[in-house]
Structure 1
Amino acid sequence: MGMNTDYNKQCLEKLIWAMQKLKIEMDYTELPKIAELIVQTMTGPWRYFHTPNHIFEVGGEDDPIEVLAALFHDVVYVQVDQSVNFNLTYYIAPFVRQVGVHLVIRDAEELPQDQIFEMVRQIFDFAPGQTLSPMTGQNEFLSALVASKVLEDLLSLELLVQVVACIEATIPFRTKTELGSNSDILYGRLQDVCERFNLKLTDDQLIETIKRSVRLSNRDVGSFAHESAAKFLDNTWNLLPETNHYLKNSSSYTINQYRTALQKMEGFMNFIKPEIIFHQFKGYPDDATYNNLVAMARKNIEVGRLYLVSKLFTIAFLEALSLRFGRVIPVSTLMGEMPSEGFSAVSLVDFLPPIPHPHQPTTDLEKLVLTLLDEGRTQSSSYDIKNSPLTTYMVKCLGFDEIIHQRNRAQEFFQDKIGHEEFLAGFDTDVKKAVTDGIVQLFDSRKAALCQSL
């Protein structure tokens, strides 16, 4: 409760600052309710990355439009929250209905006459009757709709258009089309909206709005270009439990569940291209800045891919071993429980033998990934320790080339093309025995602890 109170205070301060910067004359007693609405949504039980701290960071500290857009840009995140926060449905339900598991914009004859909704719909280029998709702007559209309806009595339509445009720009990972970049397309839509609604915005103001949206959206994905690969992986690990809710219980999620979460993240890392992460519009940011963002993202993605390959192979090996005695085995059963304050559990790696001739990394990428596995990300998460001692052991025993080879073999195991014993049979005998013996000794230590008073 105390943390939420602090977030409410920070959010309220940003709202007040933005309104004062925009010279909005208003009754400020309404703003605490808006702050509470935002913070309550952003502190939901599954929010690990998309939190109040994230929206405060994305908004920056210089531009009131960017601050307002950032405060609202993630209030709807259906696949994380598993629904739309009940308090937000007041603003959404007149325009959107649920059909099965999908959210659908109401048909034209069902929609109320509402200038604000029409403005938002046209900026996003959505149509009545359209089924919304999380991958193509559903969350951003609904967040922009909430922002516009919450702020409609406070801001002019001209200001709301700018806020909505900034939120639209945060739809991530879109490729350039024959119509140009996402920013070019958004600029064209704003021109159409200004003409249709007779808005008093000059072309220079529209260009500045798009540049604002570029700043905001680039900050939104800024962790991709973080100078520290460890920080980049911190954010990656904070994203995992947002859509893999079973990870919240660190002692009970299964090997299969953890493997599935890593697989999904690996799939994303293999899909993402550095060139589609960041935005540029009419030379802003300048080429040197933009190219540096892309280069840093490329480096971090390469690190993330090899890091995930290594961890995914290790968990595949454990999964294959676990199938010898059960199908629903928690990670903690084979690895030991996560350490916590006042409790230090025995771990599998405590029983692994020394490595007589450890493999050495052969490239800068391998050196960096091995360091990250060994020393860890910058922080532990609530469901996983920051370093990866078993994966480190595997890499030092086998080398990255063999790890990659075995990860590729593991895909056949995941797809049930080969059984767990066939997968294990293709694995280094000495390492397999060392890890298996370590698990047996871990079980023996538990047996000894259990029987100590008998």
Structure 2
Amino acid sequence: MDPQHYISKCHAELQSAVAALGGDSASPRLASIADLIIQSMTGPWRSFHTPEHIFEVGAGGTPVEVVAALFHDLVYAQVDSGIHVNLARYVAPYVRETDKGLVIDPMESAPADDLELVMTLFGFARGQVLSPFAGLNEFLSALLAVRVLEGILSKSVCAQIATCIEATVPFRGPQPDGRNCSQILLERLKQANQDHALGLDDAACLDTILMGVRVANRDIGNFASEHPSEFLNNTWNLIPETNHDLVSTNTYTVKGYRISLQKMEGFLGFLQPAAVFRQFADEPSNEEHQRRLDLTLRNLEVARLYLRLKLVSITLLESLSLSLGEEVSLSSIMGKLPGKMDFPIQFENYLPQIAKPYQAQNRQEEIVMDLLETGRSAESVHDTRHSPVASYLVKSLGIPASLQLLDQARSFFAGKLSAEDLLAQTDPQMVQGLRHAMVEVFARRAEMFRTV
């Protein structure tokens, strides 16, 4: 969609929210802030954390929630390969880059009050190394929001917005003392309220935390998708954000694709629903919270099985492709991947038919086999919707036997098992089917080349 459309929508949401919060909704700065937000959210590597996402996170929320949603993913260092140049002018005075990463180390000339406020809310301190997996992006996004909204909204409202952004730091379990992240954030907000004379009473502090819970839950709402395919669609949009080679659809390697799947499987493999969705006080209700947890568990279990089967299948292809070299593009084996032009030579067309294919043994297997055979419900710019090699693997060996290859695959990743040994430990008829399809693709490509 045209970036100008997003800028206009962002500007309108900012004006409406600022007016409702008693701020300067007529400020000409709001237009440049909207431009700043959308430019930063439409970088070349953004495929999930996009303008659509921030509008979805704010949809139906209070004015504080809407503004927090617009800012919460502004800084995303590991996706953008650093901090967007337009944002750096606001946060550079507060951090210093070292060999360990970004450190909170403000310049003497940098206004300290905003930094102290945001550090209190995040529980951070000067000299702290910021981790991209423990609040770096959210901290800098919150600091940036407070800085650019100064003079447009009151200090107390900016603090509430920063609090909601802190709440979006994801996947946090309870502390050893039993406190959860929302309880801890409430304590920090009350401390900030005292230190910075924000004028918030206890009810306003609690209400701010509940707003943060709602923002955080909408931020990762796709985990509770009604259908696993919808959850996988979002997962597939996340993969290229931190695997930039996948953006070059027809040149990324078999190994590169395998590594991207490996990282996602590793992340989802240990994630528990209780670390995904939040509940604090009566937000949300017990019934709604349990519904989200149940759907998240179902979606995670399906995604894990789906990813593990795809991981085994791509590992077998990688093992076969090593005879050609280590930097073989996946498209050279599979045929052209998603793009503007059709390519008649496709790997899947030369896979053998299975006389007695494996039949799903339960509902989870039914869902996964359908996803492999038919495909996810949405297109992806970097991958096909369906998974013909994984589907062939499952039909040939069955799901239990296919999963038994996962340990060998992990040994292969670690360099403890050679490609030849991995293939030798795999059903020879199934491997021969893969080898045959690979030979057919190359033979037909050679034939096309000779006729040009």
Shorter-normalised TM-score: what interval?
over 0.9
- Distance in structure 2 (CA, Å) of the matches to 1:16 and 1:345: 52
CA drift at 1:27? 3.1
Residue number in structure 2 paired with 1:303: 302
The residue that corresponds to 1:263 in the other structure is 262
CA-CA distance at 1:283 after TM superposition: 2.3
Q: Which residue of 1 aligns with 2:172?
A: 174
Aligned position for 1:144:
142
Retained in 1: the 8 A contact 2:118–2:142?
Answer: yes
Given the alignment, which residue of 119, 123, 137 partners 2:121? 123
Q: Counterpart of 2:354 in 1: which secondary structure?
A: coil
Aligned to 1:253: 252
Q: Which letter does structure 2 place at the counterpart of 1:29?
A: P
Deviation at 1:30, TM superposition (A): 1.7
Once the 2 structures are TM-superposed, how far is the Cα of residue 113 of structure 1 from its aligned partner?
4.6
2:230–2:376 Cα contact (<8 Å) kept = yes
Alignment of 1:45-60 (within 5 A): 45-60=44-59
- Separation in 2, partners of 1:179, 1:297: 23
Kept in 2, the 8 Å contact 1:95–1:111? The answer is no
Is the 8 Å Cα contact of residues 102 and 129 (structure 2) preserved in structure 1? yes
Per the TM alignment, residue 431 of structure 1 is displaced from its structure 2 partner at its CA by: 1.1
Deviations 1:225-268 (A, max 9, x none): 11111010011000110000000011110011000000000000
Normalising by structure 1, we get a TM-score of: 0.97
SS of 1:136 mapped into structure 2: coil
How has the CA–CA distance of structure 1 residues 26 and 20 changed in structure 2, closer, same or farther, with 3 Å as cutoff?
Answer: closer
Residue 77 of structure 2 is aligned to residue 78 of structure 1 = yes
Which has the higher mean CA deviation after the structures are superposed, 89-98 or 30-39? 89-98
Q: Which residue of 1 aligns with 2:233?
A: 234
Moved more, 80-89 or 139-148: 80-89
For 1:289, the equivalent position in structure 2 comes to 288
* Cα pair distance change 1:357/1:166, threshold 3 Å: same
Partners of 1:179 and 1:185 within 8 A in 2 = no
1:421/1:106 CA distance change after superposition, 3 Å = same
Matches within 5 A, 1:367-386: 367-386=366-385
In structure 2, how many angstroms separate the alpha carbons of the residues matched to 1:82 and 1:383?
19
Q: Which residue of 2 aligns with 1:65?
A: 64
Is the CA contact 2:338–2:382 (under 8 Å) kept in the aligned structure 1? no
1:287, 1:34 → 2: CA distance?
A: 38
Q: CA deviation at 1:22?
A: 1.6
Q: Does 1:428 align with 2:447?
A: no
Change (3 A) 1:112 1:30: closer
Q: Can you give the 5+ residue segments of structure 1 that lack an aligned partner in the other structure?
A: none
SS of the residue corresponding to residue 402 of structure 1 reads helix
Q: Over residues 365-403 of structure 1, what are the superposed CA-to-partner deviations in whole Å (9 max), with x where a residue is unaligned?
A: 111101111111111211101111121111111110011
- Superposition RMSD on alpha carbons, in Å? 1.4
- Aligned partner of 1:280 in structure 2 is 279
In structure 2, the partner of 1:163 is 161
> Is contact 1:274–1:298 with CA below 8 Å preserved after alignment?
yes
Give, in whole Å, the separation in 1 of the partners of 2:306 and 2:344.
25
Supply the distance in 2 between the matched residues of 1:289 and 1:36 (Cα, whole angstroms). 36
**Paired-residue identity, %:** 41
Q: Distance in 1 between matches of 2:303 and 2:24?
A: 48
**1:134 equivalent in structure 2:** 132
1:3-14 alignment, distance < 5 Å = 3-14=2-13
Tell me the CA shift for residue 292 of structure 1.
1.1
Q: How does 1:399-438 map to 2 (within 5 A)?
A: 399-438=398-437
Q: Which amino acid in 2 is paired with 1:167?
A: I
Contact 1:120 1:141 in 2 (8 A): yes
Q: CA offset at residue 337 of structure 1?
A: 1.0
Local SS of the residue matching 2:93: coil
TM-score, length-scaled by structure 2: 0.97
CA distance in 2, matches of 1:339, 1:260: 20
Q: Could you list the per-position Cα deviations for residues 173-194 of structure 1 after superposition, in whole angstroms to 9, with x for gaps in the alignment?
A: 1110115110000001111111
